[in-house]
Amino acid sequence: MKQKRRMKPPLLAISLLACMSAPTSAMTTEYIHTDALGSVVAITDSNRAVIERRDYEPFGEQLEPTTQNGPSYAGHVHDDLTDLTYMQQRYYEPELGRFLSVDPVATLDNGDLRNFNRYAYAYGNPYLFNDPDGRLPDRPMCEHKPITTELSRTSTQSGSIVVSRQVTTSQGENQPSTTKDTGTLVLLPQRSLGGAPANPGPNVTNRLLNFSSKEGKPVQVTSGQRSLEQNRAVGGAARSQHLQDNAADVRIEGYTPTQTADAAHASGEFNRVNEYTDGRGVHVDLMQGGTQGRFTDWTPQRR
C-alpha cells in the first residue's frame, strides 16, 4: 500500500467563498475555507457546521475525502475525470508534482536556475511557493516570515544599564533581513539596592519595552524588584507589587509625571498606573484583580 504523507499548512481561513448548491428540492449555501496556500481545507454550511475537511500531500494530491470537481489544491480547479488540476495555463499532475506541458515563460528568466526545469511546480518547494496561473511560482500572500528577538544590555559610566530590544524579520529566500529597534529601557541606579541598577522582572521588562516602542522614547526605570528589607527601607507598602517582581517605577525624559502616567495608561500594557505627586515619579504594575486603571496617589482617576 502506498504510504501517504500528510501536509497540513496553517489553517488561517484567510478567504471564504460562498457556493450555492441547487438540488431539485431546495437551494443550499456552502462556504469554502482556504489555507495560506489557497487550498480548500474545509467546507461549512449556513449554520457554521463543518461538513467536509480536506488533507493534501505536499504537492497537492488529495488524501481525503474522495476528490471531486471544483476548487481544490492551491485554489485551482480539480478535474475528477482526469484526476488533474487545471492551473489556467497548464494542467498539473499532483501525484507526480509536475505539469504536463512546458512552461510558456522563458527557461532561464533573469538567469534564475530554478526555472530550468520547465515542468516543475513551485520550484520544487510547494510549502513556500504556489503558482497562481501555471506560468511562474509566487509566494503566497500569507507567507511565513521567521522572526527573532534579541535583548542587549550595555553598562554606562553613570552606573546605569541600557536595555535594547531588536526584532529581526527574515524576508525569505535570497532576500535581506530587516532589523528594527522595538523598545529601550534605561535601568537607573536604584536607591534601595544601594545604587545597583534597577532590575524589573521579565514580564514587567517586556511590557516596559512595549511601552517604550509605542511611545517612541526610552523609558527610565528607577525601581524594580525589591526584597522585604529593601521595600521597608524606602517605605513601600506591605503588599507592594515590587515584592513579587511585578512592578516598576518609571519616568520619561522631557515628560512630566502626569504625561508619563497618561502615556503608560494609554499604552494598555499595565493593569495599574499610579502618579505620585511627591516627586517619586510613576508606578506601573501587572497586578491581577482589585481596582485597576489610572491612579493619582492611589486615588482612582475617573475619565
The 3-class secondary structure across 232-294, one letter per residue, is: HHCCCCCCCHHHHCCEEEEECCCCCHHHHHHHHHHHCCCCEEEECCCCCCEEEECCCCCCCEE
Confidence at residue 19, expressed as pLDDT on a 0 to 100 scale: 56
Instruction: Judge if 82 and 193 occupy the same domain.
Output: no
Of residues 48 and 217, more confidently modeled? 217
| Domain end residue (candidates: 92, 124, 156) | 124
Confidence at residue 14, expressed as pLDDT on a 0 to 100 scale: 44
Task: With CA atoms as reference, report the closest residue to 146 among 104, 178, 105.
Answer: 178
User: Is there a domain that residue 131 lies in?
Assistant: no
pLDDT per position as a tens digit, 114-129: 777 888 888 888 888 8
User: Is there a domain that residue 138 lies in?
Assistant: no
Separation between Cα atoms, residue 188 and residue 299, nearest integer Å: 27
Instruction: Judge if 62 and 181 occupy the same domain.
Output: no
The pLDDT of residue 160 is above 90: yes
Instruction: Judge if 281 and 176 occupy the same domain.
Output: yes
Instruction: Judge if 177 and 253 occupy the same domain.
Output: yes
Instruction: Give the number of domains in the chain.
Output: 2
User: Is there a domain that residue 139 lies in?
Assistant: no
Instruction: Judge if 117 and 175 occupy the same domain.
Output: no
Task: With CA atoms as reference, report the closest residue to 223 among 200, 256, 195.
Answer: 200
Section 26-40 average pLDDT: 84
User: Is there a domain that residue 272 lies in?
Assistant: yes
Q: Identify any residues that bridge with 183 across adjacent strands, giving them in sequence order.
A: none
Separation between Cα atoms, residue 65 and residue 53, nearest integer Å: 7
Instruction: Judge if 100 and 166 occupy the same domain.
Output: no
DSSP the chain: -PPP--B--------EEEEEE--SS--EEEEEEE-TT--EEEEEETTS-EEEE-EE-TTS-EEES---SEE-GGGPEEETTTTEEE-SSSEEETTTTEESS--SS-TTGGG-GGGSSTTBSGGG-TTT-B-SSSSS-B--TT----EEEEEEEEE-TTS-EEEEEEEEE---TTS--EEEEEEEEEEPBPGGGTTPBP---HHHHHHHHHHHHHHTS-EEEEE----HHHHHHTT--TT-GGGGT-EEEEE-TT--HHHHHHHHHHHT--SEEEE-SSS--EEEE---SSS-EEEETTEEPP-
Separation between Cα atoms, residue 149 and residue 170, nearest integer Å: 12
| Domain end residue (candidates: 64, 93, 124) | 124
Rg (CA), the chain: 29
Confidence at residue 175, expressed as pLDDT on a 0 to 100 scale: 63
The pLDDT of residue 8 is above 90: no
Section 162-169 average pLDDT: 88
Task: Say if CB 12 and CB 142 are below 8 A apart.
Answer: yes
Instruction: Judge if 156 and 263 occupy the same domain.
Output: yes
Instruction: Judge if 168 and 278 occupy the same domain.
Output: yes
User: Is there a domain that residue 70 lies in?
Assistant: yes
Separation between Cα atoms, residue 132 and residue 257, nearest integer Å: 55
Instruction: Judge if 165 and 290 occupy the same domain.
Output: yes
The pLDDT of residue 11 is above 50: no
Instruction: Judge if 72 and 169 occupy the same domain.
Output: no
C-alpha cell at 97: 508534482
| Domain end residue (candidates: 84, 109, 124) | 124
Q: 291 is in which domain, residue-wise? A: 147-300
Of residues 126 and 105, more confidently modeled? 126
Q: What is the CATH number for 235?
A: 3.30.1380.10
User: Is there a domain that residue 10 lies in?
Assistant: no
Instruction: Judge if 117 and 260 occupy the same domain.
Output: no
The pLDDT of residue 193 is above 60: yes
User: Is there a domain that residue 52 lies in?
Assistant: yes
Instruction: Judge if 153 and 253 occupy the same domain.
Output: yes
Separation between Cα atoms, residue 204 and residue 285, nearest integer Å: 7
User: Is there a domain that residue 135 lies in?
Assistant: no
